[in-house]
């Protein structure tokens, strides 16, 4: 397994729409393993392939307290979302240190393949529901800050660019 570099907003590659995975083979299983290791190393609860500059419909998530129950979603699609919504603070490995309120459905049902190619239907609520919706946005080329006002989004963009410049100088 290998740690993968995580793209940081406003990197334009974060806006690339991911393509479906044609076949689940050793290459895809290796990507899943590397993404899972990267997510755990970065202390995140979810990671989409788009965030590691692989533009395929692959997501890894682990919202368990012990951080030992990874969920793999390949070619996920939301087949149902509750009309009831809730605003909750979200953060993102691609927007480090930034948290803000985003409105999401309180529960979703998603159909996806796992790393063995088995179709699964997952009914999620709470944190898992939010995480699935957040990561699926990445596959569509959307970062959570795009839900915020243009003023907040521009402040975040400026902050991320300043952090990048300071890191290069260091």
User: Would you give the DSSP letter of residue 47?
Assistant: E
According to the model, what pLDDT value does residue 168 have?
82
pLDDT per residue as tens, the chain (170 positions): 799 999 999 999 999 999 999 999 999 999 999 999 999 999 999 999 999 999 999 999 999 999 999 999 999 999 999 999 999 999 999 999 999 999 999 999 999 999 999 999 999 999 999 999 999 999 999 999 999 999 999 999 999 999 888 888 87
Is 92 assigned a ligand-binding role in the annotation?
A: yes
Residue 135 catalytic?
yes
Is 134 assigned a ligand-binding role in the annotation?
A: yes
- Residue 81 CB partners (closer than 8 Å, separation 6+): 105, 107, 108, 109, 133
| Catalytic hit among 77, 135, 146, 166 | 135
Is 55 assigned a ligand-binding role in the annotation?
A: no
Beta bridge partner(s), residue 80: 109
Residue 6, helix vs strand vs coil: coil
Beta bridge partner(s), residue 108: 81, 124
User: Would you give the DSSP letter of residue 148?
Assistant: S
According to the model, what pLDDT value does residue 154 have?
94
Burial of 55 (0-12, 13-18, 19+ CB in 10 A): middle
Residue 138, helix vs strand vs coil: helix
Domain spans, the chain? 12-169
The fold for domain 12-169 equals Peptide Deformylase (3.90.45)
**pTM reported for the whole predicted model:** 0.95
Query: Is the CA virtual torsion 36, 41, 122, 49 positive or negative?
Result: negative
**Contact, 44 vs 55, CB < 8 A?**
no
According to the model, what pLDDT value does residue 163 have?
87
């Amino acid at each position: 397994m290998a740690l993968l570099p995580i793209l940081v907003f406003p990197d334009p590659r974060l806006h690339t729409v991911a393509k479906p995975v044609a076949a689940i083979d050793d290459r895809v299983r290796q990507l899943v393993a590397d993404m899972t290791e990267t997510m755990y190393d970065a202390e995140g609860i979810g990671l989409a392939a788009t965030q590691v500059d692989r533009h395929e419909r692959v997501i890894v998530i682990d919202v368990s307290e012990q951080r030992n129950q990874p969920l793999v979603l390949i070619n996920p699609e939301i087949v149902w979302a509750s009309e009831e919504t809730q605003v909750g603070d979200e953060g993102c490995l691609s927007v480090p240190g930034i948290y803000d309120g985003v409105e999401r459905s309180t529960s979703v049902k998603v159909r996806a393949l796992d790393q063995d190619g088995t179709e699964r239907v997952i009914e999620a609520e709470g944190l898992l529901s939010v995480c699935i919706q957040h990561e699926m946005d990445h596959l569509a080329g959307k970062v959570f800050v795009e839900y915020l006002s243009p003023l907040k989004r521009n402040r975040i963009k400026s902050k991320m660019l300043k952090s990048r410049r300071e890191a290069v100088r260091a």
